[in-house]
Structures are given as C-alpha cells and as structure tokens.
Amino acid sequence: MTDIAVRMVRDARRSLAWWAIGVAALVWVNVIFYPSVRDSPEIEGFVEDSPELMRALLGGRESLDILSPAGYLDGQVFALLVPLLLLIFAIGHGAGAIAGEEERGTLELLLANPVGRRRLVGEKLLGLVGLVAVFSAVTWLSSWTSGLAVDLGVSAARMLAATVAAGLLGLLFGALALAAGAATGRRGPAIGVPAALAVGAYLLMALAPLADWLEPWRVLSPFYYYASFDRLVQGIDWGASAILALVTLVVAAGATVAFDRRDLKL
C-alpha cells in the first residue's frame, strides 16, 4: 500500500481496534456454546420444525444441520453474523473514503498534492482492502481459537476459506460504497445504495429456492457466490472467489470513471 492507503488504515486504527474486539467477542460467544448444542438433539428438531421461510432467511439455505460442527459454525457465525458485520464495516469505510473526505473538506488537500483522481481512487480501494483484510484476519483467528477451545473439529483451512469468501463479499459492497461516494460526493447515497443492494441481494439468494420464478436470477446475487457452508465443508471455491474479485474490480473501475468526470465541490 502507498501513502494514502496507509494513512487510511492508520486513521481508522482506533475504530478498527474496537471492531476487532467486538467481532472476536461475538465469535467466541457463539462458538463456545457448541458442546451444549451438540449434546441436545431436540434442538435439531426445533430447527427442522421451524418455517421454511425462516430457515431460508436466517441461514440462506433450505436446511440447517445445526448439530454438525460445520453446520453450527455456519449457522451461528458465517451465514449471517460475519457477513452482516463485514458489510456494515466495509460500507462505512468505503463511503468515507471519498465522500467522507469531500464532506469534511479534506479532499482538496489530498488533490493539492501530486495525486491524480484515478490514483486517489486506486489508493482508497487499497486502503479498503487493507481494512477488510485486518477484519477478516481477526474473524479467522477468533474462529480458529474458539474452535480449538471447544474441540469443534473444523480445520483452520476450512475456516480460512469461509473467511476469505466473507472478506471478498464485504469488499465488493465496500467498493460499491466507494463508487457511490465517488459519483455523488455524499455519504448518504454512498451508504444507502450499497446497503439497499445488499439487502436485495441477500433476499434474492435466500428466497430463490422457495420461488421457482426467482431461481434463475439467483446467480445475480453476490451472496450466491459466498456460500459459507460450502467453504466450511469443501474449502475455497476459486471460481466463485474470482467472480467476486472481478466484480469488485469492475465496480472500482466505474468509481474511477465517475470520479474522474465529476465536477468536485471543494
């Protein structure tokens, strides 16, 4: 990372520290209860008897094997908790990358240096990558250590695969926030647009199995390529990961073009 990207990460170090503490605590709290769930078969019956719509919305899958180590870790951590926190984190920092600088009046100082608009967008994206990488590393480390504490039985490599997939998902929506901010110069749309798209994409992925007419459109949802349970069982899916990364680059290119052509209010 270069100077602007490093400064972006450095400026966020306090909030990043609090995020890391909170994420680690949430992961530990969820994972350490696995032995009690594993030894309570009636819980599986309760989950299976719950409405199909509720199971789809909570897990993004038609069924939840909550008693298996991978199923429990998926349902309690990776299916909804980690993606939700990552999206909030990435969208917030993506929105502040350019729109936040512009609203605070600090964007003019950045552009007064020998830094072109395209380079600025690229470095802000690099800074966002760094922040998401730290968040993801904390998620993986807390999942691995808490799993060891309760003898969960999911390998560190499988947890890493799910964490990388979550990081790529968060980075995509963070890039959308950066792009919306680059196009408008306002934090409101920079947060609202990717947040609305994230909700719509999750609902599409979760509800498609319940409605035949939605099923063909499921592939348009980034959450479809996330599929945390598959990662925890089979490991990383290079094809799906490449798609998320490629779409992120396309969004970043769009952000560059939009920012390069816009009249800035400095």
What does the DSSP assignment read for 73-142? HIIIIITTHHHHHHHHHHHHHHHIIIIIHHHHT-HHHHHHSS--HHHHHHHHHHHHHHHHHHHHHHHHHH
Nearest to 236 by CA among 171, 160, 144, 170: 160
How does pLDDT run across 188-198, given as a tens digit for each residue?
999 999 999 99
Q: For residue 49, what pLDDT band results from cuts at 50, 70 and 90?
A: low
The single-letter DSSP state of residue 219 is G
The answer to whether 128 touches 4, Cβ cutoff 8 Å, is no
CA distance 211 to 142: 37
d(CA 249, CA 188): 23
Residue type for position 239: G
**Across residues 28-49, what is the average pLDDT?**
74
Burial class (CB in 10 A: 0-12, 13-18, 19+), 89: buried
Q: Name the band, by pLDDT with cuts 50, 70 and 90, for residue 137.
A: very high
Q: How buried is residue 46: exposed, middle or buried, by Cβ count under 10 Å (0-12/13-18/19+)?
A: exposed
Query: For 256, phi and psi rounded to 5 degrees?
Result: -60, -45
> What's the whole-number mean pLDDT along residues 77-82?
92
pLDDT, mean of residues 76-105: 92
Among 38, 70, 222, 243, smallest CA distance to 157 is for 70
Per-residue pLDDT for 140 more than 80? yes
62 vs 11, more confident: 11
Q: What is the structure's pLDDT at 13?
A: 92
Q: Is the pLDDT of residue 50 over 60?
A: no
